[in-house]
């Protein structure tokens, strides 16, 4: 599963530029935690963010160990609660004992702040390049993933809704988030090529509700 979700260039970097002990620790003890989260934030999402983060990072002079760790920890705070998960992720990273063996205190703070800054609804621009990378990487999606993740999340938290109300919530949320004037923003010019194309295609569908409903019904039913 893991290799199927990762670009061959990302696999190469993970195997050659990431500390082996750190990689094993994160894959076995952090990424696996995502299996307990809702389908919108499962292990597939974690690996997708790792993939896009490293693809973006190749364009900059950054520490791959830091990029990888931030991407792995960015949503880990969901095990505490959803509302403040970005803040919880920050504190979990800062207090991780093994990470203190690999990173300086300054590096830990940079990584923790990047986790805190990643949330799409955050009105402030991330404080560092590392925050910009994971923030953009977290937006990686296409219309199928958008609908599937939002539908699963809606059912998970509002499981007594009618089909019509569920559809209405999904469509409204996705338009607000990913529509032409949605609140999801990208910070890095490289994201245009690496991340944005499927979202631009999704925007065309979101703009036409009859087309969106057709796609929605094929995916959900």
For 127, the domain range is 2-137
SS3 content of the chain, % helix, strand, coil (to 5): 70, 0, 30
- Count of domains observed in the chain: 2
Contact assessment for residue 74 and residue 93, using Cβ atoms and an 8 Å cutoff: no
Q: Are 62 and 9 in a shared domain?
A: yes
Contact assessment for residue 202 and residue 186, using Cβ atoms and an 8 Å cutoff: no
Model confidence over 80-136: pLDDT tens digits?
998 899 999 999 999 999 999 999 999 999 999 999 999 877 778 999 999 999 999
Q: Are 122 and 147 in a shared domain?
A: no
Q: Are 19 and 121 in a shared domain?
A: yes
**DSSP label at residue 174:** H
Q: Are 110 and 157 in a shared domain?
A: no
Q: Are 27 and 126 in a shared domain?
A: yes
Low-confidence ranges of the chain (pLDDT < 50): none
CATH of the domain at 110: 1.10.3210.10
Q: Are 14 and 72 in a shared domain?
A: yes
Q: Are 40 and 60 in a shared domain?
A: yes
Domain final position from 89, 113, 137: 137
Residue among 213, 218, 219 at smallest CA distance from 164: 213
Contact assessment for residue 113 and residue 184, using Cβ atoms and an 8 Å cutoff: no
């Amino acid at each position: 599963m893991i290799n199927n979700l990762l670009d061959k260039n990302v696999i190469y970097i993970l195997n050659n530029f990431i500390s082996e002990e750190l990689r094993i620790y994160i894959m076995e003890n952090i990424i696996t935690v995502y299996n307990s989260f809702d389908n919108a934030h499962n292990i597939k999402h974690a690996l997708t963010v790792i993939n896009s983060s490293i693809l973006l990072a190749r364009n900059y002079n950054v520490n791959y160990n830091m990029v990888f760790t931030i991407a792995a920890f960015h949503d880990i705070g969901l095990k505490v609660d959803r509302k403040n998960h970005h803040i919880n992720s920050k504190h979990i990273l800062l207090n991780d004992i093994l990470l203190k063996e690999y990173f300086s205190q300054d590096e830990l703070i940079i990584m923790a702040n990047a986790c805190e800054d990643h949330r799409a609804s955050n009105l402030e621009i991330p404080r560092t390049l590392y925050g910009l990378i994971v923030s953009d990487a977290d937006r990686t999606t296409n219309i199928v993933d958008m609908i599937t993740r939002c539908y699963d999340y809606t059912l998970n938290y509002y499981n007594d809704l009618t089909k019509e109300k569920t559809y209405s919530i999904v469509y409204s949320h996705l338009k607000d988030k990913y529509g032409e004037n949605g609140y999801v923003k990208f910070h890095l010019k490289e994201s245009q090529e690496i991340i944005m194309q499927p979202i631009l295609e999704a925007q065309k569908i979101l703009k036409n509700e009859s087309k969106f409903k057709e796609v929605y019904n094929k995916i959900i039913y």
